[in-house]
Structure 1
Amino acid sequence: MNVNIRNIREEDAEAFLELCLRLDRETEFMLLEPGERLTTPEEQRQKFAALLAADHSMIFVAEINGQLAGYLGAYGSSYQRNRHSVYLVLGILQAFSGKGVGTALFTELHRWAEARNLHRLELTVMAHNDAAIALYKKAGFEVEGIKKDSIRLGDRFVDELYMAKLLPS
């Protein structure tokens, strides 16, 4: 399987929304439930334009056979005190889970982060998402803490883990 990892482009707005809507439907591990994502393709294009104009955030997409199979969003701050840090969001279609897509996305993220002298990569993950936790640990992330009952799934609350990786400065 040939995976192409690249930066998001404005013209990816519609395909990216389709990817996100599909992720919303096929997994409970993403934040939004089916039907909650109301962004239009034009609004998504505008968000991408703003993101691409800034130097502190990026979305990397995994393309397989011309279709988006997953993404890794790195969202940074323009404030001096936390400019060294980015918050990450990962989504990979189930059909491509466990096939190296996540590892490839993290490899590209690390290149991008090092070029910007970033020091901290951070994320949250549902505590029962064993596959994602294993990927993050493989990528060098460590658990820093627990957010108790931070997500509601149906009629139950679940914990999230705070995870981070510090890059050499």
Structure 2
Amino acid sequence: MMIRNAVISDAEQLMRLTQQVERESPFMMYEANERQISADKQKRMIEDLTSVENSTIFVAEVDHGLVGYLLAIGGSSNKTKHSAYIVVGILQEFQGKGIGTALFNELDRWAKGKLHRLELTVITENSAGINLYQKAGFKKEGTKKHSIYMDGKYVDEYYMSKLLEG
């Protein structure tokens, strides 16, 4: 397994990976086929996120194929540019194999000296995700009540964050 920065030539694979993660996981924001993702949109996202200092995309690669990703989307205003919102997705068959931990370790290395705060939200029923985030040093800050509607009911999300030294 290799964790590395996403590059423009990853756009097609990243598009397919994102689509598959959204098909496999009920915990992603978008459901399967809910949004139109294209290789061109992925290229623009890679360009946009890698062109600013407080944003990036990491990918996990196994046998020359992408199996996971982590986006750090930095704040755009002067008051929020010290923080980044995290989005992570890993193919189901590769979960529980240390890929999430490796992605977060790479995030920590990259963020050191750049950012002060990392943040994310997670559906309260996503125990595997919560465990990964806590293992990576994230703490629960609060609960967004009824923030997501899925499977015919409203569910809560936790706000989680990690404060970085420096």
Shorter-chain TM-score bucket reads over 0.9
Q: Deviations over 1:24-59 (max 9, x none)?
A: 111101111111120221122122112222111101
Report the Cα offset of residue 126 of structure 1: 0.4
Moved more, 9-18 or 74-83: 74-83
RMSD: 1.0
Letter in 1 for 2:10: D
1:44 and 2:42 equivalent? yes
Residue identity matched to 1:167: L
**8 Å Cα contact 1:150-1:157 kept in structure 2:** yes
For structure 1, the 5+ residue unaligned runs are none
- Equivalent in the alignment of 1:150: 147
Scaled by the length of structure 1, the TM-score of the pair is 0.95
Offset of residue 93 of structure 1: 0.7
Q: Provide the rounded CA distance (Å) in 2 between the counterparts of 1:140 and 1:52.
A: 24
Gap regions ≥5 residues in structure 2: none
In 2, Cα distance between the equivalents of 1:104 and 1:90?
12
Asked if the contact 1:19/1:68 (under 8 Å) is kept, the reply is yes
| Partner secondary structure for residue 80 of structure 1 | coil
1:18-97 superposed matches below 5 A: 18-97=16-95
Find the aligned partners of 2:149 and 2:83 in 1 and give their Cα distance: 27
Q: Structure 1 runs of 4+ off > 3 angstroms?
A: none
Identity %: 49
The aligned residue for residue 139 of structure 1 is 136
CA–CA distance in structure 2, aligned partners of residues 115 and 167 of structure 1: 9
Which letter maps to 1:69? V
Deviations along 1:111-164, one digit per CA (max 9) or x if unpaired, are: 110042x11010000000001101111111110000011111121111000000
The number of aligned residues is: 166
